[in-house]
């Protein structure tokens, strides 16, 4: 059995930052400086192993890696930076005693920086502030240091680092050893380990990433998961360096992996407590709540024959990313598909792109919507699909989810941002003027107003300088209704939307106008209508495609021409009664982009 590392020599830490502040680059430099990865194996963003992460320059999934700095063992648990993946950040921070907070010298403190700093403080972590990208011509170190002290309320002087050039890396490692507390676990107590992530391997099954809080876990030990009570035997365990490095033992304070031959990832709940079956615990470790989807959308294959392939792809992807949920759905316009629940718009975009790339599928995604609670005569019910929204006359009350939105921006963009928030039915909470010419705006906003195009509009009105973060706030009463689109008198369920009463007419007219441009003309006249309840609020008419049936009549009696025209008229009348209109996929894609 390998010897356990004393807890006094262990440091467990995360790197937290706003998206694109250089977190992954700093992790690369730490891996190089500690000799964890050789120069021959080194590549940019080595912790971001997914192709999509490298392409977009963002971290999507948490990673863990073990490094050595002198006699000390440093366990880095890497975290994403985007607000949609804040559940990943909370899981990683729960397994740490300290956090390196990275702030871009040219961008300053941004919304996710503030949110992550607050989360780390709530969990009692020691925060080490760092100003990165000090080599850039646009770097404003003095202003950024003012913001760290003024906005984040961190009195400790920040370290100055250029992760790209490797400047300041040694000082960061020394600060981790000096300032991050050692774990306080006791190896002689019964086993208590926290699962902070899980990965699915085709050959090994579920790989659990764990932080051992108390006790020891060894190969061959029978373990039990606290929440489900299921028991497994540990087949392999070890450290991540970053590849799997088997060991005989994981002791209190250490971070590593466990493989127990689990084939179904749903038998493991991230945040659960692992204990020894022979010495069960009376209570679970303080964990964190399961991620709850807040944005829903229908996903359908463009080719109906790809439905079985989509089913298999969702099952495989859900094994690796259990944070999205899915259930079967059918649409008269789009055929068979699935309704998926996501943590946000970026999460939706990432899942869709992974399905298309990794499983070679062509998909159409319906307009995203949130979950409403609707009260009818039969009582309250939850609705996550516009097609299932009750008729307007049957509704007594509707509740929609709200979020508390925090925006950090230079004060000169105040007017444009506040106008946008007013358009999106925002309610003012607070405005605070901070150090370095920045301001912090706090508003309560319906989540439905955020899920379509809000982030792009915010970046547009602030010329890219505003950043945002949000937290769920609960539900409030809303005056919303279902907007239906009728093509040739038939409702198209895939184009249904739940919209606010004040915006319904505008959205209905815009969708009818867009569909008129995209749908091909038929041999008969086609009506395109927007309807609320039994009332038509907008209409466009697609004129019939004319065929000249008199082209071959070179003279002759007028009655012959009249007979041909009458025959054509009768044929068009019959076609209008029996005919159907084919809506191209481009029409769905374009119409669903209409947000206002």
pLDDT in tens, 134-153: 988 888 898 888 888 888 88
- Cα(5)–Cα(314) distance, rounded to whole angstroms? 41
Q: Compute the average pLDDT of residues 277-304.
A: 78
Q: Compute the average pLDDT of residues 185-189.
A: 87
pLDDT of residue 596: 42
Residue 447 lies in a domain: yes
What CATH number does residue 435 fall under? 3.30.70.240
Q: Compute the average pLDDT of residues 567-581.
A: 58
Residue 222 lies in a domain: yes
Phi, psi dihedrals of residue 371, rounded to the nearest 5°: -90, 125
Residue 68 lies in a domain: yes
Whether residue 99 has a cis bond before it, omega within 30° of 0: no
What CATH number does residue 32 fall under? 3.40.50.300
pLDDT of residue 341: 83
What CATH number does residue 254 fall under? 2.40.30.10
Same domain flag for 158 and 200: no
Pairing between β-strand 231-233 and β-strand 295-301 as defined by DSSP bridges? unpaired
- C-beta atoms surrounding 311 within 10 Å: 16
Same domain flag for 167 and 69: yes
Pairing between β-strand 438-446 and β-strand 427-433 as defined by DSSP bridges? antiparallel
3-state helix, strand, coil in the chain (%, to 5): 30, 35, 35
Same domain flag for 97 and 198: no
pLDDT in tens, 92-105: 788 889 999 999 99
Task: Say whether pTM exceeds 0.75.
Answer: no
Same domain flag for 121 and 11: yes
Phi, psi dihedrals of residue 56, rounded to the nearest 5°: -90, -10
pLDDT in tens, 460-514: 888 877 878 788 888 888 888 888 888 877 887 777 888 888 888 888 888 888 8
- C-beta atoms surrounding 465 within 10 Å: 18
Residue 467, C-beta contacts closer than 8 angstroms, at least 6 positions apart: 18, 110, 111, 112, 407, 408, 409
Q: Compute the average pLDDT of residues 345-373.
A: 83
Q: Structural domain tally of the chain?
A: 5
What CATH number does residue 495 fall under? 3.30.70.2570
Contact 449, 425 (CB under 8 A): yes
Same domain flag for 97 and 65: yes
What CATH number does residue 301 fall under? 3.30.70.870
Residue 160 lies in a domain: yes
pLDDT of residue 130: 93
pLDDT in tens, 381-433: 888 778 788 887 788 889 998 988 888 888 888 999 999 999 888 999 999 88
- Cα(538)–Cα(552) distance, rounded to whole angstroms? 40
Residues in the chain: 596
Contact 559, 574 (CB under 8 A): no
Q: pLDDT exceeding 90 applies to what percent of the chain?
A: 16
Could you tell me the pLDDT band of residue 233, with boundaries at 50, 70 and 90?
very high
Q: pLDDT exceeding 70 applies to what percent of the chain?
A: 84
Contact 66, 239 (CB under 8 A): yes
Residue 457 lies in a domain: yes
pLDDT in tens, 58-93: 555 557 889 999 899 999 987 765 555 666 677 778
pLDDT of residue 595: 45
Domain boundary among 338, 368, 398: 368
- C-beta atoms surrounding 72 within 10 Å: 18
**Which is nearest to 147 in space by CA: 200, 97, 107, 205?**
107
Domain boundary among 477, 505, 539: 477
Could you tell me the pLDDT band of residue 578, with boundaries at 50, 70 and 90?
very low
Q: Compute the average pLDDT of residues 254-270.
A: 83
User: CA quadruple 303, 307, 308, 314: dihedral positive or negative?
Assistant: positive
Same domain flag for 161 and 115: yes
Same domain flag for 488 and 550: yes
Residue 441 lies in a domain: yes
pLDDT of residue 234: 92
Same domain flag for 530 and 428: no
Residue 267 lies in a domain: yes
Same domain flag for 470 and 335: no
Same domain flag for 486 and 454: no
In terms of pLDDT, which residue wins out, 303 or 192? 192
Least confident of 110-119, 155-164, 373-382: 110-119
Task: Quote the domain boundaries for residue 341.
Answer: 295-368
Could you tell me the pLDDT band of residue 258, with boundaries at 50, 70 and 90?
very high
Domain boundary among 368, 392, 411: 368
* 165 to 29, 103, 140: CA distances (angstroms): 9, 16, 18
454-461 helix and 414-423 helix, angle to the nearest 10 degrees: 150
Question: Please, what is the average pLDDT of the chain?
Answer: 81
Same domain flag for 433 and 564: no
Same domain flag for 203 and 169: no
pLDDT of residue 478: 86
Residue 52 lies in a domain: yes
- Cα(160)–Cα(22) distance, rounded to whole angstroms? 13
Could you tell me the pLDDT band of residue 556, with boundaries at 50, 70 and 90?
low
Least confident of 3-12, 398-407, 453-462: 453-462
pLDDT of residue 148: 87
Rg (CA), the chain: 29
């Amino acid at each position: 059995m390998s010897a356990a590392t004393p807890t006094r020599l262990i440091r467990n830490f995360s790197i937290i930052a706003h998206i694109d502040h250089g977190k992954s680059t700093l992790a690369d430099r730490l891996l190089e400086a500690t000799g964890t990865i050789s120069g021959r194996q080194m590549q940019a963003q080595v912790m971001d192993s997914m192709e999509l992460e490298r392409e977009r320059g963002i971290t999507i999934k948490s990673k863990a890696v073990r490094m050595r700095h002198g006699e000390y063992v440093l366990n880095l648990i890497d975290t994403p930076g985007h607000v949609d993946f804040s559940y990943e950040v909370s899981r990683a921070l729960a397994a740490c005693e300290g956090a390196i907070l990275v702030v871009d010298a040219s961008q300053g403190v941004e919304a996710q920086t503030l949110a992550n700093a607050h989360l780390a403080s709530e969990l009692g972590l020691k925060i080490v502030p760092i100003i990165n990208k000090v080599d850039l011509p646009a770097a404003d170190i003095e202003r950024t240091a003012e913001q760290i002290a003024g906005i984040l309320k961190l009195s400790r002087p920040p370290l100055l680092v250029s992760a790209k050039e490797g400047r300041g890396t040694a000082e960061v490692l020394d600060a981790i050893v000096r300032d991050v507390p050692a774990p306080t676990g006791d190896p002689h107590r019964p086993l208590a380990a926290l699962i902070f992530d899980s990965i699915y391997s085709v050959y090994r099954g579920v790989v659990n990433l764990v932080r051992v809080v108390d006790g020891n876990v060894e190969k061959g030990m029978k373990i039990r998961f606290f929440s489900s009570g299921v028991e497994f035997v540990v087949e392999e365990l070890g450290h991540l360096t970053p590849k799997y490095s088997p060991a005989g033992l994981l002791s209190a304070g250490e971070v590593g992996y466990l493989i127990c031959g689990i084939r179904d990832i749903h038998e493991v709940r991230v945040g659960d407590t692992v204990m020894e079956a022979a010495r069960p615990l009376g209570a679970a470790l303080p964990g964190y709540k399961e991620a709850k989807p807040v944005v829903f959308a229908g996903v359908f294959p463009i080719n109906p024959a790809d439905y079985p392939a989509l089913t298999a792809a969702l099952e495989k992807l859900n094994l690796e990313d259990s944070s999205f949920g899915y259930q079967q759905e059918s649409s008269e316009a789009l055929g068979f598909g699935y309704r998926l629940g996501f943590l946000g718009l970026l999460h939706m975009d990432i899942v869709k792109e992974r399905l298309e790339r990794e499983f070679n599928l062509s998909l159409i995604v319906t307009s995203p919507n949130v979950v409403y609670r609707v009260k009818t005569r039969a009582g309250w019910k939850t609705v996550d699909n516009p097609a299932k929204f009750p008729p307007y006359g049957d509704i007594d009350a509707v509740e929609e989810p709200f979020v508390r939105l925090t925006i950090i921006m230079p004060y000169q963009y105040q007017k444009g941002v506040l106008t946008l928030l007013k358009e999106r039915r925002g309610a003012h909470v607070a405005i605070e003027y901070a150090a370095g010419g920045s301001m912090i705006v706090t508003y309560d906003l319906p989540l439905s107003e955020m899920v379509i195009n809000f982030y792009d509009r915010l970046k547009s009105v602030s010329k890219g300088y505003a950043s945002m973060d949000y937290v769920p706030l609960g539900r409030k009463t809303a005056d919303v209704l279902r907007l239906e689109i009728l093509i040739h008198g038939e409702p198209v369920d895939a184009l249904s939307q739940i919209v606010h009463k004040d915006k319904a007419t505008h959205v209905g007219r815009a969708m009818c106008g867009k569909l008129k441009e995209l749908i091909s003309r038929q041999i008969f006249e086609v009506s395109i209508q927007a309807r609320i309840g039994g009332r038509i609020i907008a209409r466009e008419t697609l004129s019939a495609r004319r065929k000249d049936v008199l082209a071959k009549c070179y003279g002759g009696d007028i009655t012959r021409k009249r007979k041909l025209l009458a025959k054509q008229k009768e044929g068009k009348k019959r076609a209008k009664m029996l005919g159907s209109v084919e809506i191209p996929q481009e029409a769905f894609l374009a119409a669903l982009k209409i947000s206002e």
